[in-house]
Structure formats: C-alpha cells, structure tokens
Amino acid sequence: MDKWITFDCYGTLVDWRAGMRASLEIVSPGNGERLLALHRKVEGEIEINEAYRPYREVLAESVRRMAAELGLALAGGNEEILSATMPFWPLYADTNAALLRLKELGYRLAILSNVDRDLISRTLRHFDVLFDLVVTAQDVRSYKPADAHARFFLERSGVQPGNWVYAAVNNQYDLVAGNRLGAQCIWINRDAERAADTGFLAAELSGMRELPDTLVRLASARR
C-alpha cells in the first residue's frame, strides 16, 4: 500500500519568516520585523473570518492592514510585495535532504498549502524531489484550519488508514484537522512554540532533519 506524508509548505519546508522579513524590509525599511510579528494574526483573521478570495489578494490585504496597525505609509503597489517575492523565499537548509530520504523510504509526498497554484508552482522549482500531489487553497476555495485541503487529499490519494503522516509547522492550522481525519501527526516545531493541544502528536521535532529516522522508529514500534 502507498505510504503518504503531507506537508504544509511555507513554514515547514520554506523559510517563510526569512523570506517575508526581507520582503517587508524592501517596502518599509527598518520595519520588517515589526510587520512580520503581526502577519500570522492578521492573515488568519482574513482567512478564517472572511469570504474566500485568492491568496494573492489575502497577502495584499494583510500587508495593508499590518501597515495601518503600525501607522506606516506604503507607496502604491507595495502591498503586492509578498506575492511578488514568494517564489524566491529560501528553503530551510534541512528540507531537500530530508525529502530525498523520505522518497528513498518509499513515501509519496504531498503539499497542502494556503496559497494560489501559480505562486506555489514557482516555489516547487527549489525542491530536489517531485511532489506526488499538491493541494492549494485555490483548488478547494477554502483556507486552513478548515479541513477542505485534507479531505481533498484523502479523496485524490486514496490513502488507507494508518498510511498517512502529516508533518507541519503549525499545530492548529494543519495537525489538529489532520488528526481528526486519521493522520499520524508530527509537529515540525521550528520556532519552539507552545500549543494547548498536543496529546495526539506522534512526535514533536525541531526540524526536518530528524523526520526520516523518526518515521522509521514509529513504523518499527507499530509492527
């Protein structure tokens, strides 16, 4: 039977903090870190509480609202900075080696991401592996933490119970929903965050480097 592992892309595989910080510095020098600190909250409010719109528009509106909250002026068009630079954001140093090892172990790889398809298509060029399936918000017209991405993945992959691992940097946005749908969940907790709901996790790791060996151990323990 096929073994699948799903990932969030930006944050788990791609260093979204470095990419976003550098991008925001371009349009508001000296304020990149301050703007970045607001991003997760502001974008989350748009994705969770408002009607679906393309992610490119979500990013632009997030930049407008972050700047307004800090009282910063933006030149016209600068709200588009994140969608313009996203394809150039760097992978984490441990990403490609871990993905190659997972392929060697027989895993099929999928991405479930809150982006538009054209944006992620350019990010995919940075990987040394081909993903077997990519599910975007554009495909399901919904944003995580809603479970439409995961349900779409289950339908397309046909994965059997017990053969799906979900590894992601955001516990609430990805893993809580994945757990409800039967995934074995691994938190790639790159920022050493805390979460209230972690009892369901199969493992908590600091990065991707440890993931392949962790999966080997977990598989052995289940035999």
Q: What is the pLDDT of residue 217?
A: 94
> What does the mean pLDDT of the chain come to?
96
pLDDT tens by residue, 39-71: 999 999 999 999 999 999 999 999 999 999 999
pLDDT tens by residue, 136-190: 999 999 999 999 999 999 999 999 878 999 999 999 899 999 999 999 999 999 9
The whole-number average pLDDT for the span 77-99 is: 97
- 28 and 134 in contact (C-beta within 8 Å)? no
Around Cβ 51, how many Cβ atoms within 10 Å? Answer: 6
- 6 and 173 in contact (C-beta within 8 Å)? no
- Cα distances (Å, whole numbers) of residue 131 to 66, 108, 172, 213, 215: 33, 7, 24, 20, 18
Rounded Cα distance between 24 and 68, Å, is 14
